[in-house]
Amino acid sequence: MRTFGTWLTWDDASSALTTRLTGAELDRLADAYAFAAEHHAGQTRPAGEPYTRHLLEVAEILATELDVTDTDLLAAALLHDVVEDTPATSADVAERFGPRVATLVDAVTKPPPEPGEDGAAVRLRYLDHLRDLPADTLRLKLADRYSNVQRLHTHPRPAKQRAYYAETRRHLVPLAAVDPRMAALFADWERAYAHLADTPS
């Protein structure tokens, strides 16, 4: 099973992209990374690593596995959680990085609850909405989820491991058909973590 995570810093990402993007494009992505790093400062992932590692992994998957050179999409990869998990707004993203980047980020941002709606219902509504995403936006979401689950065994809560495995199989794995490369990644991942389907709750 392939895992990603060689881009530990922006310098790592920039070095990997230098032959594929122009200087101006790299500067734009550096600005997106700096914006994300500032807003996610102090946040960590469940296993304890800095949150920025996840953002770089999503961009790494898009760039190295899916050969993405679209800087809007790569910028959205770096910014994809900034509206959901920090005080930054969609308007902030649009003003600094343009309307398409903001639209991409909005599409993968969990919506606020509607009146009387609980958290589980919001999550299900969000997952259902993924089926209607355009192909480029869906690739962004799939890269995000693959980064989240590629080291699922490191999550500190076994119950969360099982729930996330089941949710990913049900809602995300079928959507990976949008790109054969993502489908292959998720097929290998599903086999690698198949034991989680057999673990009692």
Asked if 4 contacts 65 with a C-beta cutoff of 8 angstroms, the reply is: yes
Q: How many CB atoms lie within 10 A of CB 99?
A: 12
The answer to whether 87 and 44 are in contact (CB under 8 A) is no
Assess whether 106 carries a catalytic annotation: no
For the question of residue 85 being annotated catalytic, the response is yes
- Active-site option among 84, 106, 167, 179: 84
Long-range pairs of 108-111 with CB within 8 A, sequence gap ≥ 24:
108/76, 108/80, 108/137, 108/140, 108/141, 108/144, 109/80, 109/81, 109/83, 109/84, 110/84
> Tokens 């959901």, residue?
84
**Catalytic pick from 31, 49, 85, 106?**
85
**135-149 and 180-192 helices cross at what angle (nearest 10)?**
20
> Catalytic amino acids?
84-85
